[in-house]
Amino acid sequence: MSKIVLVHGIAQSRKSADTLQPRWANAVIGGVRNAGHGQQADQLREEQLCPQPSIRVAFYGDLFRSPGAQGGATPEPGSTATDDLEERLAQAWLTEAARRASDPKDMRLAQLACAQLQPSAGQQGARSLTRSAVGYLANIRGFAPVGFAFAKAFVENSLREVSSYFTEPSLREAAQERVLNEIDDSTRLVIAHSLGTVVAFEALHRSEHPVALVTIGSPLALKNVIYDRLVPQPPTIPTCVTAWADFVDKNDLVAVHNDLRGDFPPKPGNPDVLASTVWVDNAAQPHDHQAYLTDPRVGQVVVAALQL
């Protein structure tokens, strides 16, 4: 198996482990090099050429792909529970944008949306509100860096993936199994991004292999939407985690801007291995996994976890 297991986030259903692994591995190695550890970066790059590379992606994005679906298509309506969760998540993202969007125009737009969109009654009402919220979100820079049409599809699919994960038990189980299948005694570090932090967190509660954990752009602490649906409840640091570092960009609207230490205590009798959240600056791509992974502080954590 691998020293490092990478767990991707939302909107990867049209990708594969083979397409993601080179980009993610290169970003991790780049972060190590940016941290001033050129020799260790070279070592990791050489190990990637081995039959059993040091860095592998636990891919679960295909679980969200509907048979016959076309890329960018609007997801089919789901159950009442799914629609309700999508509505809650869309409202939560708008609330975050209204509170802390860096662009004043984005903040005003989000504030207007929050004032106009009220919680709905019934499944049809939930879908209508969600469609309206998607339109607002797709015009906010954090969600629309490359144009409205792309952002609208991104937001729609992201909402559907998060809600599907929490409302479809078989999908949830399968996603966690993808992570657990990549972890064994040789694994030293799990790095997870976005929705992948949720999948990894729940999977690690089922693992006995000691690993360090890095979360980037994580929505784990999003109350009333994600945090309250995590397993186990109340959420605690997985017993197998020997160290946990969390990184958040100040403009990442998908992530929650709270120090996770207040929401994820250790289990009774276990050490508190969760460090204070580290704030990073990913410039124009606040939720981009490559921007997170190439940050020198993330690279330093990688070196420490692998004891390179």
- Rounded Cα–Cα distance for residues 115 and 117 (Å): 6
Contact 288, 282 (CB under 8 A): yes
pLDDT tens for 93-102 read: 899 889 888 8
Contacts of 307 (CB under 8 A, 6+ apart): 188
> Among the ranges 57-71, 108-122, 132-146, 288-302, which has the highest mean pLDDT value?
288-302
Helix, strand or coil, per DSSP, at residue 172: helix
What's the whole-number mean pLDDT along residues 136-141? 85
Per-residue pLDDT at 70 exceeds 50: no
Q: What is the DSSP letter of 233?
A: S
More confident residue, 135 or 260: 260
b or e along 199-238 (b: 16 or more beta carbons within 10 Å of the residue's beta carbon)? bbbbbbbebeeebbbbbbbbbbbbeebbbebbeeeebbbb
Domain residue ranges in the chain: 4-63+169-306, 80-167
pLDDT tens for 185-221 read: 999 999 999 999 999 999 999 999 999 999 999 999 9
Rounded (to 5) percent helix, strand, coil in the chain: 45, 10, 40
User: What is this structure's pTM?
Assistant: 0.91
Contact 36, 67 (CB under 8 A): no
Q: Given pLDDT bands bounded at 50, 70 and 90, which one contains residue 73?
A: very low
Fold observed for domain 4-63+169-306: Rossmann fold (3.40.50)
**What are the residue ranges of helices labelled H in the chain?**
17-34, 38-47, 80-100, 104-116, 122-137, 148-167, 169-180, 195-204, 289-293, 296-306
More confident residue, 308 or 7: 7
